[in-house]
Amino acid sequence: MTSALKPGVHCISATPFLPDESLDEASLKTLLDYLVGGGCDGVVMLGVLGEADRLTDEERDRVLHGALDHADERLQVSVGITHSSTLVTAARARAAERAGAVSVMVSPPPGSAAGPALTDHFKRIAGGLANPVIVQDHPASSGVKMPVEFIASLYDLLPPNSIVKLEDPPTANKMSKLLELQPDFQVFGGLGGVSLYHELAAGSAGAMTGFALVEFLVGIVSSYQTGDIDGAFQKYEEALPLMVFEAQPGAGVALRKEILRRRGAIAHATVRQPAPKPDAFSLDALDQLLARIPDGVPA
């Protein structure tokens, strides 16, 4: 029996570190509890926010198994497995499925381009998988532009219930075009939630992103899905100043970890180096933004 992702909120998880930058496995547990408590349907380990490219293979395994163990049945656990080699990506996909991950997320490898070679890449990864693949369309991190026709063409060679995490702006337009071409794809938005309201209007199944105040993601999506469009917009409007602030290039991971730390979800805001750390000005701006959010963050 194959799995499928629940519509709703699948939060991209941070990877917690101790001050010496080693893995903080205790905080991984509290972070997952935080996501459960915030109402998330699932979690995606080892994405961009998870600093996946700054881990060793052995650390990747510890993060994935740690998450699967602790989440238990409370969250659907997916995992990013992007690698430059088809062979290695395919091996990671099979290993993740065996370990219990509900789906695997794959970006086009750096330097690839929409075309037959990239199609083969996805086809080989899909071979022998029962569970869905999340195709991540995020040119800002991959450097690869995938036209909507190319993405649509992947559906038939991926496992049932496969997904597109669509992060190529303007996202809502591209979603609506993709769903015209291939209505069977399940589509989620990302990019910190900054276009979430429009993405839901375009047919998105929810949010797959790492905005730290997850209850806002959950609130926007569930309001929209139950028909309370005005309520969804109001929550979107309330969250947007922080969403925009977090989503600025070169700042997001550290700011999100800082919010998670203040809320008690993780013990340290440490980011693996080299990476920008928030300066005093940014932390002050963060204070102000959080203070303006109703029930935002304990001091």
243 contact partners, CB below 8 Å, separation of at least 6: 192, 193, 194, 211
DSSP annotation of 23: B
How do beta strands 206-207 and 103-106 pair? unpaired
CA-to-CA distance for 273 and 295, rounded, in angstroms? 32
Nearer to a copy of itself, 155 or 245 (CB): 245
**Least distance in Å: CB of 142 to a copy of itself?**
11
Cβ atoms of 163 and 187 closer than 8 Å: yes
Nearer to a copy of itself, 76 or 86 (CB): 86
**Least distance in Å: CB of 85 to a copy of itself?**
4
CA-to-CA distance for 241 and 291, rounded, in angstroms? 12
Cβ atoms of 82 and 136 closer than 8 Å: yes
**Least distance in Å: CB of 14 to a copy of itself?**
15
Nearer to a copy of itself, 74 or 150 (CB): 150
**Least distance in Å: CB of 57 to a copy of itself?**
4
For residue 68, the Cα-to-chain-centroid distance in whole angstroms is: 16
Contact residues toward a copy of itself (CB under 8 A) are 21-22, 51, 53-58, 83-88, 91, 109-110, 112-113, 115, 117-118, 120-121, 124, 145, 147, 169-173, 176-177, 194-195, 197-198, 201-202, 233, 236-238, 240-241, 244-245, 248-251, 272-276, 279, 281-282, 284-285, 288, 292
Nearer to a copy of itself, 35 or 251 (CB): 251
**Best CA proximity match to 136, nearest among 91, 54, 191:** 191
**Least distance in Å: CB of 118 to a copy of itself?**
6
Question: What 3-state DSSP class applies to 188?
Answer: strand
Nearer to a copy of itself, 29 or 198 (CB): 198
